[in-house]
Structure 1
Amino acid sequence: MNERILRVLEFKKIIENLSTHAATTLGKGLVSQLKPATELEQVIELQDETDEVTQIVRLNKAIPLGGITDIRSSIKRSAIGGVLSTEECLDVANTIYGGRQVKLFVDNLDLEEKELPILEGLVEQITPLRELEMEIKNCIDDRGYVMDSASASLRSIRTSIRTFENRIREKLESYTRNNSNLLSDAIITIRNDRYVLPVKQEYRGAIGGIVHDQSSSGQTLFMEPKAIVDLNNQLHGAITKEKQEIDRILRELSQKIAAEEHDLDQNVTILGQIDFIFARAKLGQEMKAARPKMNNHGFIQMKQARHPLIPIDEVVANDVEIGKTYSSIVITGPNTGGKTVTLKMVGLCTLMAQSGLQVPALDGCELAVFNEVFADIGDEQSIEQNLSTFSSHMTNIVDIIKHVDDRSLVLFDELGSGTDPQEGAALAMAILDEVVSRDARVIATTHYPELKAYGYNRSNVVNASVEFNVETLQPTYRLLIGVPGRSNAFEISNRLGLESRIIERAKGLVGVDSKNVETMIASLEKSHLEAERDYEKAHEVLLETEKLREDIAKEWKQLEQKKEELYKKAEEKAEKALTKARKEAERIVSEIRQMKSNVSLKEHEWIEAKKMLEEAQPHLTKKQTKQPDKKAAEQKELQPGDEIKLLTVNQKGEVLEKVSDNEFLVQVGIMKVKVKRHELQFLGKPKQTMDKPVATIKGSNYHVSTELDLRGERYEDALLKLEKYIDDVLLAGYPKASIIHGKGTGALRKGVQEFVKRHPQIKNAQSGGSGEGGSGVTVLEF
């Protein structure tokens, strides 16, 4: 990517904005060097880095990067034998400490079992170097002062310095008390690093000693009395020794820093990289951006994409697609409609995506990786080079045509402008034909009406326009793919008050072909808008139908369950009645047998009577568990959660999502795959595991756990399971139940709590205690 393209598309402004999110000079340095990558693997790696850290930024977790500075020059100077200053040594210690804090921050992150392989891999390369940090901190305080504890010699020297200073002050204070009339002021001061007194000129002989300075008027001499000359000499010698000892300490620290050159340099590089990635994630959050899926096929698809440099509350979002059914878009229409903004938005989002930045569009957007992005935008005429507007455009276009290929994105603004309209239009079509023939991706804007029909004559070119509201005389900035723009000159003139007779005369002067084209465009615009409205209505009806189908299926399932429960209850009641009747019959037969000696009945007749009594009892037909019929199972409608067998690999799995009428997303082992319906065999509904005591309801065993684990479930699926579970618990007669939803972002927990508030059978709901899972669990009382 050449510098001119980055300047024309205002990529430098993105860099400036990104730099404000970097916390260290290391990160800012990497931001300033950012350039779009041109290899798909490298771009995907950059996007992986940004997306991983975005998970942390969205939770408002701030990484501690304070105190980290670029110490690479200090490290190199120490490595070649240089002695670092106290400030440089302190920067090294603070950077080591900052690296340890970053490492600790990442190690303590809890993102609900989400893995951070890239970030964790980076912090693993950070070497703690705690011993070096402590050695520096034990010698130098936070203000950069070498402390007495740095060495025994330094402590001894500074003790002697304080002793000499105290003795000198005592002698000089005796002068200020006893000979104050000889002094200009009763103070002790310093000249040339020696203690002196301000003596009046006329009393110079009375004091005696060495003159080090005098006042500007010459009336005051700064004299060192003879009595303290030796003490001052001793003090000066001690100060010299102090400086020498400090130099020795700093030299030793510098040597220890040099010994860790490799680890320190690696720490600095890693910390800068981490700051750089966090800056990219923060910019994405600020723009409300999404991660783009990258491809090598020149395919671009963005939903509700916005220009990154226009405030969110002002910009109009648009859908853009190119590279699949058509490779070129020609946008026509009047000025100030937003054509150039759309052009720059596509180019700038492409550069951002190839630089590892997320783009301001809805989730699911897709962008291509290009070797080059070419742009001819704006008026770049030069007085010095004697270039007209047309010449400057042609110079750029000639250079573009020399280098364009199938891995290029080409942006033309007002193609062919600046010359005779007929010649310009013809030249624009010829240039487009040449670039399109090389299979490049092209977006061009133009005023020429001749280009409005261009897209209809080329299979891989589509027309587009920017919508204009004639009622308000304002552009809406909405991009209309498939509809060429029209001038709206007559409508605008009429709205502004131009007499109708003049407008009618102007219409009469317009050629028949132009009228037909304008009429066709107006019809296309109307059809396009009607199609959009119909699509929105159809989509709403589809959503309502889906919801109604789900409600009916849910009610039918509940009805089947209720019917099954009533059947079981009736069977149990009948069984009890039969058991009671059987016992009564046995009692009667027993009494009769005791009386048989008094009657003339044979033994075989009693046996026959008993058999007839048993045969008289009604027999209940128990429901038999049928073996699943393979053909019926294949025809059964599958729902998320159903147990299935993937026939192609003969493995059991679970339905995760219905993609279409004939396609499902299933999980088999650790794999998630999309398969056709005929490849699946229905095995049954998911069995509810039971790890708690079994509840008995009116004589039947009703299996339901006292806990429901919703962690890892999708929001909608979780609420459906919760509703079913509460019904089961109420049937089981439990007084309490626990819903495990985890902590996480709080979205699932909030959904659970709102649901239970609305449920009429739940008396109380509260978070679990310290031994019950805390805020990750909601305990219900019925």
Structure 2
Amino acid sequence: MIYPQNAVDKLGYTDIKALIKDKCLSEAAKQMVDKIQPQIKLELIDRYLRQANEFKNLLVNDAALPVDHIYPIKAIIEKAKVEGAFLFEDEFYRILLSLRTVYAIIRYFNEREQQYPNLELLFEHLPIEKSIVRSIEQVIDERGKMKDNASRMLLEITQQITKSEQEARKRIDSIYKQAQQNGWTADGSLTIRDGRLCIPILAENKRKVKGLIHDESATGQTAYIEPEEVFHLNNKVRDLEFERRREVIRILTELTTTIRSHVPLLLAYHGLLTKLDFVRAKALFALDVDAEMPELSKEAEIRLVNAKHPLLSLSARQEGHQAVVPLNLKIDAVDRVLLVSGPNAGGKSVCMKTVGLLQLMFQSGLLIPCDPTSKLGLFKQFFADIGDDQSIDSDLSTYSAHLSKMKHFTQFANARTLVLIDEFGTGTDPQFGGPIAEAVLEVLNKKEIRGVITTHYSNLKVFASNTHGIENASMLFDNEQMRPLYILQTGKPGSSYAFEIAQNIGLPKEVLHLAKQKIGVQQKKVDTLLVDLEREKKEIYDTKTAISLREKELLNQQSEVQELQSYLDENRHSLLKEAKEEARQIIKNANKLVENTISEIKQVKAEKDKTKDLRVGLQKAADSLKDKPKEQAKVVQEVLSDEPVEIGDWVRIVETGNEAQVIEIAKNNLILALGDLRTVVKKNKVEKLRGKEKAKAVKKSRPISAESVADFHPEVDVRGMRTDDALQKIEMVLDRAVMIGYPSLKIIHGKGDGILRRFIRDYLRKYNHVSRFEDEHADRGGDGITYAYIA
């Protein structure tokens, strides 16, 4: 319940609905927007919010939903329900386009099964009745007109009309040419009069041509005559056209009778399009205002994190103003009421209206501009006292209007009521208005209402500080630069800064001096104290800002350290290169030592002692090299194991030295492409190639031969096979298609009970290289054949 009813206008709720209506494509969806109102069932709110949130994610992250043709077909369907009535060609065409849109949408969500569960609830168990589309397509063409071959009789009549028209045209051309030769015609050519083709004849010669005079020129010098022979031929055409029209009506009546049995389903299709259009409009509006889905609570509570007034945000963005300062507040069972004070134009009213508007939007199933960590509960009543509601007709003054609302609030408010009051207590003598407002606030607090109240009255600030359930809050103000900060701080009341603002505006000093003398000493002390508190708040806020900046600097430094670590990791490659170069040098020296040893053995003619000494020297040289390769291998292994490998990288298999490309990563295993072959290798068994080595490996990789592509047949028939055998066969063909870069694969699995089809599609969803799949055309096998498209 909302009281008074004009509160929705003052909070901006009506403006929000108008903006959502502008996003709708159909009139039916706009009517649904008009019916939006706050709900009190948590399950309903949750479903509405999730549908809008899923559609928002769809718009941002997925392919566009096919909503090209959304027409108001409900009236057409209702017309088809009447026995003996028939729909016109353009009406059938609108139904056809709408059905195509419905079926495209159903297929869209079927391909994304369980990805958008709440949106799928909109058309759960709604079948695709293709017979309706086929019936209409047999009669109506792509221009929305009746096909000439819609029936055999219609085709014959159409052909006769064409033949008669050609004969009439041929005959009138002959007569016109003869009249021209005789000099009977006036200037000009053949012309249309009363829907008939006529010859322009000079008035003095009109008796020389037998026929029907249809018109004369303004001067009376030219007569427009339809020749007698042509007149009879045109009459024949007219009779045929009447006959054609009768046949068209017969066909349309028969087609209307055919779809009459599907009226309930057609109405369900219309409802689906309307609901999707409605949810789409809500999602588009959510994107405009950066809205999110908050957490839901069964309790009467509000916790807003970085919330913004949607209308204020849109206005600031359109006019290029400074970004709106976000609002953070909490209303719960402990701090039920926020009493907001502070300077004029400091944002108190905007704060209160933001809370009321966002709560109304939330309970209406609309996403709201705030952090997803925000949490909102349920309220059964919304009471608001905003602005001036004085009425001459009702003999109500401003203050009387306020009091009548206070009367309603105190009588009917409860713990599930959200109360919003702006400038509480104003409109009468402050000496009396303050105590009355305090008494009303005390009664409302006993009823444990929740709410936001703005005021300048000091007695209310003192009452809030001494009363459980009411929390003082203030809008921060920079009293040095004399400007509001629009930041809400809870815990302490705020000063109105009346003297400071008056001084900044330029009010004469003597006026300010007299004013200060007229207020009480105690009041002056209270106001001074509040100003000092505001100054302390400002210092604390500045300190927090400085700490936040320091934290950002530390994060940046941490990022730089990580980059440096990455740089050091990259240098491992240079160590590897140095190790390889040293190994080559060792091998080179070893070969030289062996050759020298053999040469000396030959020179001394293989004396035993000398040979033995040479062997000992050779063994010492070999032993000295044993530890180095182990250390180098250990360093190489560490480098290999730490080097990150991604899909598309070129690597060398350590054990075999073969070079291959990574096509898939599965936990600690790599699936590599070796030419036309695939192999699986552990991550720590490969070395990532870079720079010249990578370029060399790419250059050496054998391109797919024309013969292998030509031999490949992009079709696999698994009808009658067991599921495991079928999937194994499909995998083999898919793997080869990926290797040779073939774009698509045709899988023939048959219809049957649809079990094999479901297993195949589940497998295709998990296959990384399959971008999408779809049914074959209905005329060529339909859902008995699946086309898989390879990315």
Same fold? TM cut 0.5: yes
Secondary structure in structure 2 of the residue aligned to 1:29: helix
Equivalent in the alignment of 1:77: 79
Using the TM superposition, give the Cα deviation of residue 738 of structure 1 relative to its aligned residue in structure 2, in angstroms: 6.5
Structure 1 residue 265 and structure 2 residue 267: aligned?
yes
Structure 1 residue 453 and structure 2 residue 462: aligned?
yes
Equivalent in the alignment of 1:366: 375
Q: Is the 8 Å Cα contact of residues 483 and 525 (structure 1) preserved in structure 2?
A: no
Q: Is the 8 Å Cα contact of residues 24 and 65 (structure 1) preserved in structure 2?
A: no
Equivalent in the alignment of 1:102: 105
Using the TM superposition, give the Cα deviation of residue 309 of structure 1 relative to its aligned residue in structure 2, in angstroms: 0.2
CA shift in 2, pair 1:55/1:707, >3 Å = farther
Equivalent in the alignment of 2:439: 430
Using the TM superposition, give the Cα deviation of residue 352 of structure 1 relative to its aligned residue in structure 2, in angstroms: 0.9
Distance 1:374 1:157 in 2: 72
Q: Which amino acid aligns with 1:511?
A: G
Q: Is the 8 Å Cα contact of residues 182 and 200 (structure 1) preserved in structure 2?
A: yes
Using the TM superposition, give the Cα deviation of residue 325 of structure 1 relative to its aligned residue in structure 2, in angstroms: 2.3
Instruction: Describe the superposition over 1:744-781 as per-residue Cα deviations: whole angstroms up to 9, x where unpaired.
Output: xxxxxxxxxxxxxxxx9984699x995696799xxxxx
Q: Is the 8 Å Cα contact of residues 646 and 662 (structure 2) preserved in structure 1?
A: no
Using the TM superposition, give the Cα deviation of residue 480 of structure 1 relative to its aligned residue in structure 2, in angstroms: 2.0
Using the TM superposition, give the Cα deviation of residue 14 of structure 1 relative to its aligned residue in structure 2, in angstroms: 0.9
Secondary structure in structure 1 of the residue aligned to 2:6: helix
Instruction: Describe the superposition over 1:467-525 as per-residue Cα deviations: whole angstroms up to 9, x where unpaired.
Output: 22233332222222222221223323444455656544543332122122113312332
State the identity %. 28
Instruction: Describe the superposition over 1:380-421 as per-residue Cα deviations: whole angstroms up to 9, x where unpaired.
Output: 223344432222333333334443222111111112222111
Q: Is the 8 Å Cα contact of residues 463 and 481 (structure 1) preserved in structure 2?
A: yes
Structure 1 residue 485 and structure 2 residue 488: aligned?
no
Secondary structure in structure 2 of the residue aligned to 1:415: coil
Distance 2:231 2:554 in 1: 104
> After superposition, where does 1:339-354 map in structure 2 within 5 Å?
339-354=348-363
Using the TM superposition, give the Cα deviation of residue 118 of structure 1 relative to its aligned residue in structure 2, in angstroms: 1.9
Distance 2:354 2:635 in 1: 70
Name which of 61, 64, 78 aligns with 1:62.
64
Secondary structure in structure 2 of the residue aligned to 1:316: coil
Name which of 322, 328, 341 aligns with 1:332.
341
Provide TM-score, normalisation by structure 2. 0.68
Instruction: Describe the superposition over 1:91-150 as per-residue Cα deviations: whole angstroms up to 9, x where unpaired.
Output: 11101111121123223449xxx7322223434544323232233233222332212121
Q: Is the 8 Å Cα contact of residues 419 and 451 (structure 2) preserved in structure 1?
A: yes
Equivalent in the alignment of 1:520: 529
Distance 1:710 1:407 in 2: 56
Equivalent in the alignment of 1:319: 328
Deviates more, 1:343-352 or 1:531-540: 531-540
Using the TM superposition, give the Cα deviation of residue 316 of structure 1 relative to its aligned residue in structure 2, in angstroms: 1.7
Equivalent in the alignment of 1:403: 412
Instruction: Describe the superposition over 1:345-401 as per-residue Cα deviations: whole angstroms up to 9, x where unpaired.
Output: 111101111111111112200112211212111122233444322223333333344
Q: Is the 8 Å Cα contact of residues 292 and 369 (structure 2) preserved in structure 1?
A: yes
Q: Is the 8 Å Cα contact of residues 7 and 386 (structure 2) preserved in structure 1?
A: no
CA shift in 2, pair 1:706/1:100, >3 Å = farther
Secondary structure in structure 2 of the residue aligned to 1:240: helix
Q: Is the 8 Å Cα contact of residues 422 and 455 (structure 2) preserved in structure 1?
A: yes
Instruction: Describe the superposition over 1:257-314 as per-residue Cα deviations: whole angstroms up to 9, x where unpaired.
Output: 2221122111121222222222222222221122111223111011111101013554
Q: Which amino acid aligns with 2:75?
A: S
Q: Is the 8 Å Cα contact of residues 343 and 498 (structure 2) preserved in structure 1?
A: no
Using the TM superposition, give the Cα deviation of residue 209 of structure 1 relative to its aligned residue in structure 2, in angstroms: 2.9
Aligned CA RMSD, in angstroms, stands at: 3.9
CA shift in 2, pair 1:179/1:319, >3 Å = same
Equivalent in the alignment of 1:162: 162
CA shift in 2, pair 1:196/1:541, >3 Å = closer
Using the TM superposition, give the Cα deviation of residue 250 of structure 1 relative to its aligned residue in structure 2, in angstroms: 1.3
Equivalent in the alignment of 2:597: none
CA shift in 2, pair 1:187/1:265, >3 Å = same
Using the TM superposition, give the Cα deviation of residue 543 of structure 1 relative to its aligned residue in structure 2, in angstroms: 9.5
Using the TM superposition, give the Cα deviation of residue 185 of structure 1 relative to its aligned residue in structure 2, in angstroms: 4.6
Distance 2:635 2:490 in 1: 68
Distance 2:664 2:450 in 1: 51
Deviates more, 1:521-530 or 1:423-432: 521-530
CA shift in 2, pair 1:155/1:702, >3 Å = same
Q: Is the 8 Å Cα contact of residues 213 and 223 (structure 1) preserved in structure 2?
A: yes
CA shift in 2, pair 1:35/1:198, >3 Å = farther
Structure 1 residue 382 and structure 2 residue 420: aligned?
no
Distance 1:501 1:190 in 2: 93
Using the TM superposition, give the Cα deviation of residue 45 of structure 1 relative to its aligned residue in structure 2, in angstroms: 1.4
Distance 1:710 1:763 in 2: 13
Distance 1:177 1:700 in 2: 100
Q: Which amino acid aligns with 2:246?
A: Q
Secondary structure in structure 1 of the residue aligned to 2:206: helix
Provide TM-score, normalisation by structure 1. 0.68
Q: Which amino acid aligns with 2:150?
A: A
Equivalent in the alignment of 1:290: 292
Equivalent in the alignment of 1:176: 176
Distance 1:376 1:406 in 2: 18
Equivalent in the alignment of 1:253: 255
Secondary structure in structure 2 of the residue aligned to 1:298: coil
Q: Which amino acid aligns with 1:93?
A: L
Secondary structure in structure 1 of the residue aligned to 2:46: helix
Secondary structure in structure 2 of the residue aligned to 1:507: helix
Deviates more, 1:254-263 or 1:86-95: 254-263
Secondary structure in structure 2 of the residue aligned to 1:483: coil
> After superposition, where does 1:499-578 map in structure 2 within 5 Å?
503-533=512-542
Using the TM superposition, give the Cα deviation of residue 217 of structure 1 relative to its aligned residue in structure 2, in angstroms: 4.5
Using the TM superposition, give the Cα deviation of residue 706 of structure 1 relative to its aligned residue in structure 2, in angstroms: 10
CA shift in 2, pair 1:507/1:96, >3 Å = same
Equivalent in the alignment of 1:597: none
Using the TM superposition, give the Cα deviation of residue 237 of structure 1 relative to its aligned residue in structure 2, in angstroms: 0.8
Q: Which amino acid aligns with 2:369?
A: P
Q: Which amino acid aligns with 2:478?
A: N
Name which of 458, 469, 479 aligns with 1:470.
479
Q: Which amino acid aligns with 1:241?
A: E
Equivalent in the alignment of 1:40: 42
Q: Is the 8 Å Cα contact of residues 404 and 438 (structure 1) preserved in structure 2?
A: yes
Using the TM superposition, give the Cα deviation of residue 539 of structure 1 relative to its aligned residue in structure 2, in angstroms: 7.3
Q: Is the 8 Å Cα contact of residues 706 and 736 (structure 1) preserved in structure 2?
A: no
> After superposition, where does 1:104-123 map in structure 2 within 5 Å?
104-109=107-112, 115-123=115-123
Distance 1:465 1:142 in 2: 65
Q: Which amino acid aligns with 2:360?
A: L
Secondary structure in structure 2 of the residue aligned to 1:148: coil
Distance 1:699 1:460 in 2: 68
Q: Is the 8 Å Cα contact of residues 164 and 231 (structure 1) preserved in structure 2?
A: yes
Equivalent in the alignment of 1:127: 127
Secondary structure in structure 2 of the residue aligned to 1:83: coil
Distance 2:343 2:637 in 1: 76
Equivalent in the alignment of 1:86: 89
Deviates more, 1:351-360 or 1:58-67: 58-67
Using the TM superposition, give the Cα deviation of residue 215 of structure 1 relative to its aligned residue in structure 2, in angstroms: 4.1
Between the two proteins, the alignment pairs up a number of residues equal to: 595
Q: Is the 8 Å Cα contact of residues 89 and 253 (structure 1) preserved in structure 2?
A: no
Using the TM superposition, give the Cα deviation of residue 541 of structure 1 relative to its aligned residue in structure 2, in angstroms: 8.3
> After superposition, where does 1:627-666 map in structure 2 within 5 Å?
none
Where in structure 1 are there 5+ consecutive unaligned residues? Answer: 556-695, 712-728, 743-759, 777-782
Instruction: Describe the superposition over 1:443-490 as per-residue Cα deviations: whole angstroms up to 9, x where unpaired.
Output: 111232322212112111111222222333322222222222212233
Equivalent in the alignment of 2:747: none
Q: Which amino acid aligns with 2:45?
A: V
Where in structure 2 are there 5+ consecutive unaligned residues? Answer: 566-631, 648-652, 667-686, 702-737, 742-767, 772-791
Q: Which amino acid aligns with 1:86?
A: E
